Amino acid sequence: MSTFPQPDPKDRPARLTVGVVGAGRVGPALAASLQLAGHRPVAVSGVSDASRRRAARLLPDVPLMTPEQVLDRAELVLLTVPDDALPGLVEGLVDTGSVRPGQLLVHTSGRYGSRVLDPARRAGALPLALHPAMTFSGTPVDVQRLAGCSFGITAPDELRLAAEALVIEMGGEPEWIAEEARPLYHAALALGANHLVTLVAESMDLLRAAGVDAPDRMLGPLLGAALDNALRSGDAALTGPVARGDAGTVAVHVAELRKHAPETVAGYLAMARATADRALAHGLLKPELAEDLLDVLAGDPNGPGGPGGPGGPEAPDTADGPEGDIR
C-alpha cells in the first residue's frame, strides 16, 4: 500500500458538474459519492421539507433549484424520482427544452432500463440506467454502504464504458441487466429486500407479544446466520418445521397466529407453502410427510396434523430436530 499522502477530493479538479432531480434517499447519496470521486455537485431539486433537509445534510452548500435549472447547470444529471414519475419527468424536461446534447442523464429506477430515456436521447442526451441494489436510509451512512454495492446497469453499447466508470467511481460493482429483464430483476430485489423488512418487523412484534424484552437482540444472530447460510447454500440451508414436515407444529403456529395476530396468517401460509415446495423439490421434505403438511397449509383444521386431527396441539411434538434447527 502506498504511503504517499492522498489528495483531498476537494483539491482535485472536478471532471463533471453533477445535478440531482429528486432529493429522495438515493440521489443525494449518489451525488455525495461522486463528489468523493472528484466530481462537483452544483444543484439539487427537492420539494418536501424532508428532501430539502436531506440535501442539506449530504450536499451542504449545494443550492436548491428547479429541475430545469438543475439541468441547465449540470453535465451529469441524476434523475432519482419514484418509478411511476420517471416517464413523465423525462418527457416534461424534453418538452421544456431543458435537455442538452451531450448531457449525461442517469436514472436510478430498478424497473426501467435506458429506453425510458429515449425522448431525451432523441434530444441528444446520453442515457444511463444505474440502479444501486441497496436500501437507503437518507443519512451519510448510505455513502459508505455503496462500497461494494452492485449496480444494475442498462445502457446503449456505446455508453457501457461510461456507465461502468461511474459505478466504479462510486465504489460499486457493475452488473449488466438486459433491457427486457429489468422488471424481473427489480421484482427479485423487491421480493428479497422489501419483504424481508416486513417479515422481520412482524417477527419482532410477535416476540414482543410473547414477552421477549429485546426481540432485535434475539433475532440478530439468528437472522444473520440464516441469511449467510442462504447466500452460501441456497435451499440446502432450509430448516424448521416446514422443511421437516412437522404438520402438527405448523398447525399450532397457524392457530396461535389466528388468535394473536390474524393479519399475519396469510403471509405465514404463503411463505410456508413456498418453503414446502422448495423443500420437496430439493429432497429436504419427505414426500410421505408432505401430504399432512399441505393439508394444514391448505387450511384444513381437521385434516392430519391440523388442530382437530391427529398430531395436532393435543399431541405435542417431542421429536428432536437436526442440530441447529429452529423449532
Confidence of residue 11 (pLDDT cuts 50, 70, 90): very low
φ, ψ dihedrals at 38, nearest 5°: 105, -5
pLDDT value at residue 91: 97
pLDDT value at residue 300: 53
Q: The sheet that has 150-154: what strands, in order across it?
A: 40-45, 17-21, 76-79, 104-107, 126-132, 150-154, 173-176
Rounded to an integer, what distance in angstroms lies between the CA atom of residue 15 and that of residue 10?
12
Rounded to an integer, what distance in angstroms lies between the CA atom of residue 45 and that of residue 93?
13
The whole-number average pLDDT for the span 307-313 is 45
**Residues 6 or more apart in contact with residue 35 via CB below 8 angstroms:** 9, 18, 41, 59
Report the predicted TM-score, pTM, of the whole model to 2 decimal places: 0.81
What average pLDDT is seen over the chain? 88
pLDDT value at residue 4: 38
Which tens digits make up the pLDDT trace of 93-147?
999 999 999 999 999 999 999 999 999 999 999 999 999 999 998 889 999 999 9
pLDDT value at residue 12: 40
The whole-number average pLDDT for the span 184-200 is 95
Task: Name the helix (H) or strand (E) containing 78.
Answer: strand 76-79
φ, ψ dihedrals at 149, nearest 5°: -75, 135
Rounded to an integer, what distance in angstroms lies between the CA atom of residue 21 and that of residue 77?
7
Check pLDDT > 70 for residue 3.
Answer: no
Confidence of residue 49 (pLDDT cuts 50, 70, 90): confident
Residue 64 per-residue DSSP state: B
Rounded to an integer, what distance in angstroms lies between the CA atom of residue 241 and that of residue 303?
17
Q: How far is CA 212 from the centre of its chain?
A: 28
Helix axes 265-281, 247-260, angle to 10 degrees: 160
Confidence of residue 314 (pLDDT cuts 50, 70, 90): very low
Rounded to an integer, what distance in angstroms lies between the CA atom of residue 256 and that of residue 85?
42
**Residues 6 or more apart in contact with residue 265 via CB below 8 angstroms:** 254, 257, 258
95 C-beta neighbours (distance < 10 Å), count: 11
